[in-house]
C-alpha cells in the first residue's frame, strides 16, 4: 500500500511526546549494545511498595478480574476522597472523584468534558510537554505565558492578567513543576486567584498535583484549595499514584472536580476506556490505605533528595551551565544556551540533546519541548552511581563543546 490513509485534522495538530521520543532513542541505542546514562525518563526506578505488589499478586492469583464501575471502585473513590479531603481541608464526596488511566488521562478527560472549540487554557512555560497537546486534543487553544528564572519560574499575576480573557477556562498550575522543579507558595496561588476572580466563574485553576509529595525542605507544597479559599474557589484537582508510590506503569490517576463535571467526564471515559485497569485500582487503594506503605514512600523521597544533591554537585563542575536547584519533583532544568550556536556547536538544544546522546551516551530532553529553547532537562530518577558517572560523562561532553 503506497497511499497513506487520510488522517484527521486533530491527529495532524498533535506533536509526539519529546520525553518518550528521547527515552525510545536511548532504549534503541541500549538494545544496539551502547551504554547509555538515561536522564530522560520521568519515572522512579523503584518497585511499588511491598504491600501493593503483594496485594496485586494475591488478587490476580485468586480472583476473576472483571470490570468495575467506570469511575472506579467505590472503595478507591472513597479512599481518594478521604485522602484529598484531609490534605486540602475540605469535604470531598466520592462522587466528585473520577479514577482514570493515569493523571494524563485525568487531565484529558477534564478538558474533553469542559472545553469547546476556541476555549483557552493558560499554560505557564516551561511546561510539561503534554499540556499544549492535550488542550489541542480537546479542541481548545493553548495560551502559553512565559515565566522567568528570576521569578523561580513561577507565573506572575501581571503576566497572567495580560493573558486571561473571556475564553479562558483554565490556568494550569503544576507544583512542583516538571520540568523546573519550582514550587508555588500559598501567596503566589492567592495572587493568581485574585486575577482569575475577575473572570469568575468560567476561569478555573487546574492544579496538577502529581508531584505534590515530592517537595524538598524547606520547600513545602501549598494546597490550591487552601490558597484560593475566599479568593476564587474554582478549581479542579488532578493527582495520582504514579510518582509518589513509584507506580507509573500501573496507570492510575484521579480527577476531583464538581459533580456535574465528574459525571460528564465519566460519560466520556465510559465510551473510551471504561474503568481503569481493575488490578491497578486495587493497587492504588492499597497504596493509599495500607499503613506500611508510608515508610517506603519516605525512603524513596530521601533517595530522590540525595540524588538531586548528587546531580547538582556533578553539574556544578561544568562551567557555563545555568543550574537552579529544584525544590521538588525529580528534574534539573539546565540553561545550556552558552553551548548552542556558533561555529562547531549544536545549532539549538535539540541538536545538543541529540549529540549528547549519540556521541556521548547521555540521554536528556531538549528544552524546546517544554517551551524553553536553550535548556535541557535532566531527570535524577535513576540510581546514584549512574548520576555520578553520567555527570562525569556530561562534563567531558561539554568540555569538547566549549
Ligand atoms: N503531570 C505531570 C506534570 C507529569 O510530569 C506527568 C508524568 O510525567 C503526569 C502528569 C502524568 O502522570 P501519569 O503517569 O499518572 O499519567
Compute the distance from residue 211 Cα to the ligand 1 centre, in Å. Answer: 8
Mean pLDDT of 259-266: 98
Compute the distance from residue 43 Cα to the ligand 1 centre, in Å. Answer: 9
From residue 164, how far is each of 26, 149, 246 by CA, in Å? 39, 22, 36
Atom of ligand 1 nearest to the CA of 19: 8
What pLDDT, on the 0 to 100 scale, is given for residue 15? 82
Compute the distance from residue 174 Cα to the ligand 1 centre, in Å. Answer: 10
Task: Write out the DSSP string of 229-289.
Answer: TTT---EEEEEESTTTTT-GGG--EEEE--HHHHHHHHHHHHTTT-SSPHHHHHHHHHHHH
Sequence-separated (6 or more) residues with CB below 8 Å from residue 305:
216
Atom of ligand 1 nearest to the CA of 107: 10
CA distance 346 to 354: 9
What pLDDT, on the 0 to 100 scale, is given for residue 358? 93
Does ligand 1 come within 6 angstroms of the Cβ of 248? yes
Q: What percent of the chain has pLDDT over 90?
A: 90
Sequence-separated (6 or more) residues with CB below 8 Å from residue 158:
none
Enter the C-alpha cell of residue 131.
499540556
Mean pLDDT of 140-165: 96
Mean pLDDT of 158-176: 97
Atom of ligand 1 nearest to the CA of 104: 16
Q: Whose CA is nearest to atom 7 of ligand 1?
A: 42
What pLDDT, on the 0 to 100 scale, is given for residue 213? 98
pLDDT band at 1 (very low <50, low <70, confident <90, very high): low
What pLDDT, on the 0 to 100 scale, is given for residue 382? 95
In 247-361, DSSP assigns E strands to 253-256, 322-323, 331-335
What pLDDT, on the 0 to 100 scale, is given for residue 212? 98
Does ligand 1 come within 6 angstroms of the Cβ of 124? no
What pLDDT, on the 0 to 100 scale, is given for residue 313? 97
Enter the C-alpha cell of residue 115.
472545553
Compute the distance from residue 195 Cα to the ligand 1 centre, in Å. Answer: 27
Q: Give the H or E element holding residue 310.
A: helix 293-316
Residue bearing the bigger pLDDT, 402 or 333: 333
Sequence-separated (6 or more) residues with CB below 8 Å from residue 270:
70
The pLDDT tens digits of the residues spanning 35-71 come to: 999 999 888 999 999 999 999 999 999 999 999 999 9
Lowest mean per-residue pLDDT among 11-15, 171-175, 216-220: 11-15
**Residues 194 and 230 sit within 8 Å (Cβ to Cβ):** no
In 134-258, DSSP assigns E strands to 141-146, 168-174, 204-208, 235-240, 253-256
pLDDT of residue 2 exceeding 70, the answer is no
What pLDDT, on the 0 to 100 scale, is given for residue 71? 98
Q: Give the H or E element holding residue 166.
A: none
pTM of the model: 0.96
What pLDDT, on the 0 to 100 scale, is given for residue 41? 84
Ordered structural domains, the chain, with CATH:
9-47+294-401 (3.90.1150.10), 50-289 (3.40.640.10)
What pLDDT, on the 0 to 100 scale, is given for residue 14? 87
**Residues 180 and 217 sit within 8 Å (Cβ to Cβ):** no
Compute the distance from residue 179 Cα to the ligand 1 centre, in Å. Answer: 11
Q: Whose CA is nearest to atom 5 of ligand 1?
A: 178
What pLDDT, on the 0 to 100 scale, is given for residue 221? 98
The pLDDT tens digits of the residues spanning 91-134 come to: 999 999 999 999 999 999 999 999 999 999 999 999 999 999 99
**Residues 347 and 340 sit within 8 Å (Cβ to Cβ):** yes
CA distance 297 to 376: 28
CA distance 298 to 249: 20
Angle between helices 130-137 and 103-114 (to 10 degrees): 40
Mean pLDDT of 158-185: 97
Query: Hey, which of 17, 108, 110, 130 would you mutate to test ligand 1's pocket, going by the most ligand atoms within 8 Å of its Cβ?
Result: 130
Half-sphere exposure of 14 (CA within 13 A, CB side): 17
The pLDDT tens digits of the residues spanning 64-102 come to: 999 999 999 999 999 999 999 999 999 999 999 999 999
Q: What percent of the chain has pLDDT over 70?
A: 100
Does ligand 1 come within 6 angstroms of the Cβ of 207? no
Which residue, 283, 288, 297, 203, is CA-closest to 239?
A: 288
What pairs with residue 123 in β-bridges? 144
The pLDDT tens digits of the residues spanning 202-213 come to: 899 999 999 999
Which residue, 203, 191, 285, is CA-closest to 236?
A: 203
The pLDDT tens digits of the residues spanning 279-322 come to: 999 999 999 999 999 999 999 999 999 999 999 999 999 999 99
Sequence-separated (6 or more) residues with CB below 8 Å from residue 339:
320, 321, 345, 346, 352, 398, 401, 402
Instruction: Look up residue 149 and give its DSSP letter.
Output: G
Interior CA angle at 130 toward 128 and 133, to 5°?
Answer: 135
- Compute the mean pLDDT over every residue in the chain, rounded to the nearest whole number: 95
What pairs with residue 365 in β-bridges? 377
What pLDDT, on the 0 to 100 scale, is given for residue 20? 80
What pLDDT, on the 0 to 100 scale, is given for residue 280? 98
Interior CA angle at 144 toward 141 and 145, to 5°?
Answer: 145
pLDDT of residue 238 exceeding 70, the answer is yes
Does ligand 1 come within 6 angstroms of the Cβ of 103? yes
Does ligand 1 come within 6 angstroms of the Cβ of 72? no
Compute the distance from residue 104 Cα to the ligand 1 centre, in Å. Answer: 6
Mean pLDDT of 11-15: 86
Lowest mean per-residue pLDDT among 85-94, 267-276, 336-345: 336-345
Half-sphere exposure of 103 (CA within 13 A, CB side): 22
pLDDT of residue 200 exceeding 80, the answer is no
Atom of ligand 1 nearest to the CA of 252: 15
Amino acid at each position: 500500500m503506497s497511499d497513506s490513509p487520510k488522517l484527521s485534522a486533530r491527529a495532524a495538530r498533535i506533536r509526539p511526546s519529546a520525553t518518550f521520543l528521547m527515552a525510545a532513542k536511548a532504549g534503541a541505542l541500549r538494545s544496539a549494545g551502547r551504554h547509555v546514562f538515561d536522564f530522560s525518563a520521568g519515572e522512579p526506578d523503584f518497585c511499588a511498595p511491598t504491600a501493593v505488589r503483594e496485594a496485586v499478586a494475591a488478587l490476580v492469583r485468586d480472583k476473576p478480574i472483571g470490570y468495575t464501575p467506570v469511575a472506579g471502585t467505590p472503595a478507591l473513590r472513597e479512599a481518594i476522597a478521604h485522602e484529598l479531603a484531609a490534605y486540602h481541608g475540605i469535604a470531598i464526596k466520592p462522587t466528585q472523584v473520577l479514577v482514570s488511566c493515569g493523571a494524563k488521562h485525568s487531565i484529558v478527560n477534564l478538558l474533553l468534558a469542559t472545553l469547546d472549540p476556541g476555549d483557552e487554557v493558560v499554560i505557564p512555560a516551561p511546561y510539561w510537554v503534554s499540556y499544549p497537546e492535550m488542550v489541542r486534543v480537546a479542541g481548545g487553544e493553548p495560551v502559553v505565558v512565559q515565566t522567568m528564572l528570576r521569578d523561580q519560574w513561577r507565573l506572575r499575576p501581571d503576566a497572567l492578567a495580560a493573558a486571561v480573557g473571556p475564553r479562558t477556562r483554565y490556568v494550569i498550575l503544576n507544583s512542583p513543576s516538571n520540568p523546573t522543579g519550582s514550587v508555588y507558595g500559598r501567596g503566589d496561588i492567592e495572587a493568581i486567584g485574585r486575577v482569575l476572580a475577575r473572570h469568575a466563574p468560567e476561569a478555573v485553576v487546574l492544579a496538577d498535583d502529581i508531584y505534590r509529595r515530592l517537595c524538598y525542605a524547606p520547600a513545602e507544597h501549598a494546597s490550591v484549595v487552601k490558597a484560593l479559599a475566599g479568593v476564587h474557589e474554582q478549581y479542579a484537582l488532578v493527582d495520582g499514584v504514579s510518582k509518589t508510590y513509584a507506580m507509573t506503569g500501573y496507570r492510575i490517576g484521579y480527577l476531583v472536580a464538581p459533580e456535574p463535571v465528574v459525571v460528564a467526564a465519566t460519560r466520556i471515559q465510559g465510551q473510551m476506556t471504561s474503568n481503569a485497569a481493575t488490578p491497578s485500582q486495587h493497587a492504588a487503594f492499597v497504596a493509599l490505605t495500607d499503613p506500611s506503605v508510608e515508610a517506603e514512600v519516605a525512603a524513596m523521597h530521601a533517595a530522590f533528595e540525595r540524588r538531586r544533591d548528587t546531580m547538582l554537585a556533578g553539574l556544578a563542575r561544568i562551567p557555563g551551565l545555568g543550574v537552579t536547584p529544584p525544590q521538588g519533583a525529580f528534574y534539573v532544568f539546565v540553561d545550556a544556551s552558552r553551548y548552542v550556536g556558533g561555529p562547531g556547536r549544536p545549532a539549538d538544544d535539540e541538536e545538543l540533546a541529540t549529540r549528547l546522546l549519540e556521541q556521548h551516551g547521555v540521554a536528556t530532553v531538549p528544552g524546546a519541548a517544554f517551551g524553553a529553547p536553550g535548556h535541557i532537562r535532566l531527570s535524577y530518577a535513576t540510581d546514584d552511581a549512574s548520576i555520578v558517572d553520567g555527570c562525569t560523562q556530561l562534563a567531558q561532553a561539554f568540555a569538547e563543546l566549549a
